Amino acid sequence: MRRGLVTVTGASGFIGSHIVANLLARGRTVRATVRDSSDPIRVDHLKALAMADGGSLEIVEMDLFDGASVNAAIAGCTDLIHTAAAVRISAKDPQRQIVDPSVIGTQNVVAAIDAAGTVERFVHTSSTAAIRPMSWRDGETLTTETWADDATLDGNPYGLAKVEGERVVRNWHAASDPQSRPRMVTIHPSVVFGPPMSKIHLRGSLAFVMALVRREFPVVLPMQVNIVDVRDVAEAHVRALTRGEDAGRYLTVSGDMQFKDISLALRQAHPELKTPTFTLPYPAALVVSIFHKRLSLAWARQHLRRRLYWDATPAERDLGMTWRAPQEALLDSMPVILENDWV
């Protein structure tokens, strides 16, 4: 690999931060984009990262809706890892707050790639949400052959954002000249656990853990959680710069745990947290979902007491990935949270 400049968008996010750390540990020259470079919660942890010989870090501001700032962030880079997106499943204005950052933002990113003319490798962070349809069979195993084409703005805005954002990338790549376009790969993580670097990292997938630690639910729901370690997700992104099929889609999922088993593992490792252990019976969970501000009856019927699996063997084969166990990812999330009193 030519050791040119790597731009990482969304570098202050959970996945983006670990990608930057991975690249710096390899001695790469990294340009990290953040929304506000004056905000300590977004940049201090990046500035503190260790780097191998030859490594360097430049932090720049970028607004996905501002084409000029996107162009400036991508200009001159040979490698681009695009993680920036809105990581939320609901909002008052889901089109503007969830879908548009993925769609309009990604449109600006691929336009900037064309304008730069220097990008040789492009890795785009998608999600299992771009693959999982709203209707799936209990016990089903999904592969990257599937798309969440039934995602709607009302029923699944995050899935819709991930589907449409990835379609932007793939349609652009397919329409580009095969002789001059960058190689392109998309990475599809499930729920991501592992060590946070900043308190803002508790807002995404780690909200599952924090809901238990903070006892936001006095009971646990009968729910399966598919898990992958953030360090493995970062490694998959970096490997995908040079490995895997051009235009490949790669799932990053290490396994699954029941919500009750997540809570029990936390309680065993940290008994002082007193995480809940009683699983709410399914009929009662349906009733609770009607009145809970963060749940819905439709969501409960779709997810509770059901199991869904993912085929991540292509990432193992093509990217050479091995996975940390789900429980390791879970328990490794906690030391930083406790040391910094983020509970």
> Could you tell me if 236 and 250 are in contact, meaning their C-beta atoms sit under 8 angstroms apart?
yes
What is the domain count for the chain?
1
Q: Is the model's pLDDT at 265 over the cut of 60?
A: yes
Secondary structure (3-state) at 88: coil
Beta bridge pairs of residue 31: 7, 58
Tell me what pLDDT residue 88 has. Answer: 62
CA 156 to chain centre: 16
Tens digits of residue pLDDT in 25-70: 999 999 999 999 999 999 999 999 999 999 999 999 999 999 999 9
CATH of the domain at 120: 3.40.50.720
Distance CA 117, CA 169 (A): 16
Question: Amino acid identity of 42?
Answer: R
How would you list the strands of the sheet with 79-82, edge to edge? Answer: 56-61, 29-34, 5-9, 79-82, 121-125, 183-189, 248-252
Question: Would you put residue 49 in left (φ > 0), alpha (ψ -120 to 50) or beta?
Answer: beta
Beta bridge pairs of residue 226: 256
Q: Which residues are catalytic?
A: 162
Prediction pTM value: 0.95
Over residues 293-302, mean pLDDT: 80
Q: Single out the residue of 340, 335, 333, 328 nearest to residue 18, CA to CA.
A: 333
Q: Single out the residue of 262, 106, 110 nearest to residue 174, CA to CA.
A: 110
Q: Where is 296: in which H helix or E strand?
A: none
Tens digits of residue pLDDT in 192-246: 999 999 999 999 899 999 999 999 888 999 999 999 999 999 999 999 999 999 9
Question: Amino acid identity of 301?
Answer: R
Q: Where are the alpha helices (DSSP H) in 63-155?
A: 67-74, 94, 100-116
The token duo for 305 is 């007491």
Beta bridge pairs of residue 248: 185
Distance CA 249, CA 163 (A): 12
**Maximal C-alpha separation, the chain:** 59
Q: Is the model's pLDDT at 187 over the cut of 80?
A: yes
Q: Which domain does 315 fall in, by range?
A: 5-339
Instruction: List, in order, residues 6 or more apart from 5 with CB less than 8 Å away.
Output: 29, 30, 31, 76, 77, 78, 79
The residue that leads in pLDDT, 154 or 140, is 140
